[in-house]
Amino acid sequence: MTTQPEDLHQQINTWKSNVNDVRDEVKMMRDRLEQIALSDAPREVMTRVEHFENRFLRQREVADEIFHDIKQCAKKVTATPVLVIHDDRPVDDYDTMQNRMEIFQKLYEELKSDFNHFITREA
């Protein structure tokens, strides 16, 4: 299958947008967590706060790593201004990047669900 470079850039831009959305949502969750941390919550709640602080920090690190890798894919596409021939993969390592994005989204959704459950119990 032949894909225009514009289609490749569109896929890459979608990935970048997804990662940025996760970054923004994690920031909002961290802000909410900070409110709980500043309250007079019991020790067991503060333990959970620390747990989520660590998970949010790691989520941000992973987001930064994957965003960097996406940018590297964009450079690879830009370096190939002609049509790219492939079997429905926008970049050479598309399968790997697609798999990483799926795992990234899945783990983020789990984090978000866990945090929302925590918030509803503590609110």
What integer pLDDT is reported at residue 75 of this predicted model? 77
| Mean predicted lDDT score pLDDT of the chain | 84
pLDDT at residue 15 is higher than 50: yes
Q: Residue 76: what pLDDT?
A: 74
Give per-residue pLDDT as tens, 78-105: 665 544 444 444 445 667 888 899 999 9
pLDDT digits (tens, 9 = 90+) for 40-49: 889 999 999 9
Chain CA centroid to CA 54, Å: 16
Q: Take residue 63 and report the two structure tokens written for it.
A: 């987001």
SS3 92: coil
For residue 104, give the nearest of 54, 59, 57 by alpha carbon: 59
Closest CA to 57 of 101, 26, 32, 16: 26
Higher pLDDT, residue 94 or 71: 71
